[in-house]
Structure 1
Amino acid sequence: MSDKSMGPGTYLTDAEAKELHKGFVVSMAFFVFVAVIAHFLVWSWRPWLGAPKGFAAIESVQQADATRAVPGRG
């Protein structure tokens, strides 16, 4: 085994370990960026904190749909 490997049992040289770490950091940053954008879009659509009656309009629409009379047949 080479003296340039990182730690016991990794079989990576210092350059390979740095390259792997760089790829991990870049992919993690991309994932976090996409997650932040997705959370912002969902927050814009339906805020889950802050507004005291944020879902009140949705609940009233659901209640109106549930109490709407079904037209009879015939």
Structure 2
Amino acid sequence: MADNANERTGSLTGLSASEAQAFHKLFMLSFIIFTLIAVGAHFLVWSWRPWIPGPNGYAMVEDTLRLASALVSFKA
């Protein structure tokens, strides 16, 4: 037990070297999975509605807003 306490005093986190390595592996795996999910989500949103306008500019957005306002005024 005394050896274990001496081993932990060299670190700011209080983790031993093997515990720190295990935590690092888990952290990196979680980070990579999160990043892949985020990249996939961004790709799907880009495919659905591009952020940068195409050759017609934001005409599609303007048409959608015009349609939405027509529907709102129709219901009222």
Q: TM-score, normalised by structure 2?
A: 0.70
Map Cα deviations across residues 27-46 of structure 1 (whole Å, 9 max, x no partner): 00000000000000000000
2:69 corresponds in structure 1 to 66
Shift of 1:57: 1.7
Runs of at least 5 residues in structure 1 that lack an aligned partner in the other structure: none
Runs of at least 5 residues in structure 2 that lack an aligned partner in the other structure: none
2:59 corresponds in structure 1 to 56
User: What is the RMSD of the two structures over their aligned residues, measured on CA atoms?
Assistant: 2.5
Identity %: 37
User: Which contiguous aligned blocks of 4+ residues in structure 1 show a shift greater than 6 angstroms?
Assistant: none
Q: TM-score, normalised by structure 1?
A: 0.71
1:33 corresponds in structure 2 to 36
